[in-house]
Amino acid sequence: MKIGFIGLGNMGAPMAVNLAGAGHEVTGFDTAAPVPAGITPAASAAEAARNADVVITMLPNGPILKMVAQQVIPAMTRGAVFCDCSTVDVNSARVVASMATAAGLGALDAPVSGGIGGAQNGTLTFMVGGSGASFATVSPLFEIMGQKAVHCGEAGAGQAAKICNNMILGATMIATCEAFALADKLGLDRQKMFDVVSTSSGYSWSMNAYCPAPGIGPQSPADNDYRPGFAAELMLKDLNLAQEAARSSGAQTPMGALAQQVYEQFVEQEDGRGRDFSAMLPRFVKLNS
């Protein structure tokens, strides 16, 4: 396929490189990041999108997505698919889908899970909203960039799935870190706690796959001085999106709201910015000392 890829940062660049490595013709654009080897550089987002079968965007937020969509959609060929892989608010995803549909294009909102490592290794999970026909068109690309793609429903459903997933992740990581810090206070060895919890009813992805305690469980950012695999400020962004969605839909999410408040304090008032979201553990240890 001919692919336009807009947004070549830490996530977008390896995703685009994997597509080019699989034999697709990829033209890329970013306002700041360099265009990786193997990607044809474009002078603008519109140029990257011109004559493309699929245009993929990986952008920081909803307002930037809508601005880029306004530039790109008029340049696209009718019948092509606009596939946004950013994590943005549900409303922005639906607005952009409406713009694309009105221009005779397919549209997908397809946020990802798996972080930078998943982008590099082609093991991302895509949560996808949009029509079945557009999903079928882009599915071969999802298979290159990821290990799984789930068609969640119509426009906005992918973003809804992403923010619900990450609300669970944020709250679970806080509880996991609280538990390790409590174990320390009670004199319980961290390895013994992991051995019990990881095979008992308290097991979770935060504990078993991404343990926040250094030297315990599989390799994780905790073993690299909490340099981010998934930065705390990005977790805060997702929790903010979840709370925005809860307010607009009238949903009650008290644990999600509390997780948002804790990460906001960690990022904005403490030393969380630039650290992995699992650095909540040394935070609680410090608070308990």
Give pLDDT tens digits for 140-190.
999 999 999 999 999 999 999 999 999 999 999 999 999 999 999 999 999
Is 255's pLDDT higher than 90? yes
pLDDT of 38 strictly over 90:
yes
- What pLDDT, on a 0 to 100 scale, did the predictor assign at position 27? 98
Cβ-contact 139, 130 below 8 angstroms: no
Question: 32 forms bridges with which residues in the sheet?
Answer: none
Active site amino acids: 162
Residues 212, 209: Cα–Cα separation, whole Å: 9
The single residue listed with the structure tokens 């082609």 is 122
Complete domains list, the chain, with CATH: 2-154 (3.40.50.720), 160-288 (1.10.1040.10)
Decide: 84 and 12 in contact? Cβ < 8 Å: no
pLDDT value at residue 120: 95
Q: How far apart are CA 284 and CA 289, in angstroms?
A: 9
Mean pLDDT for the stretch of residues 186-197: 98
* pLDDT, position 7: 98
pLDDT at 72: 97
What's the confidence (pLDDT) of residue 115?
85
Q: Kindly state the average pLDDT of the residues 72-99.
A: 97
Three-class SS of the chain: CEEEEECCCCCHHHHHHHHHHCCCEEEEECCCCCCCCCCEECCCHHHHHCCCCEEEECCCCHHHHHHHHHHHHHHCCCCCEEEECCCCCHHHHHHHHHHHHHCCCEEEECCEECHHHHHHHCCEEEEEEECHHHHHHHHHHHHHHEEEEEEEECCCHHHHHHHHHHHHHHHHHHHHHHHHHHHHHCCCCHHHHHHHHCCCCCCCHHHHCCCCCCCCCCCCHHHHCCCCCCEHHHHHHHHHHHHHHHHHHCCCCHHHHHHHHHHHHHHHCCCCCCCEHHHHHHHHHHHHC
- Inform me whether the pLDDT recorded for 59 exceeds 90: yes
Instruction: Give CA separation, 179 vs 93, 182, 183, 196, 259, in Å.
Output: 37, 5, 6, 12, 15
- pLDDT grade, residue 117 (50/70/90)? confident
The pLDDT, as a whole number, for residue 95 is 97
Average of per-residue pLDDT values in the chain: 97
Please give the Cα distance from 29 to 99 (Å, whole number): 21
Count CA atoms within 13 Å of residue 80 on its CB side: 22
Q: How far is CA 44 from CA 5, 27, 49, in A?
A: 11, 10, 9
pLDDT in tens, 206-237: 999 999 999 999 999 999 999 998 999 999 99
Percent over 90 (pLDDT), the chain = 98
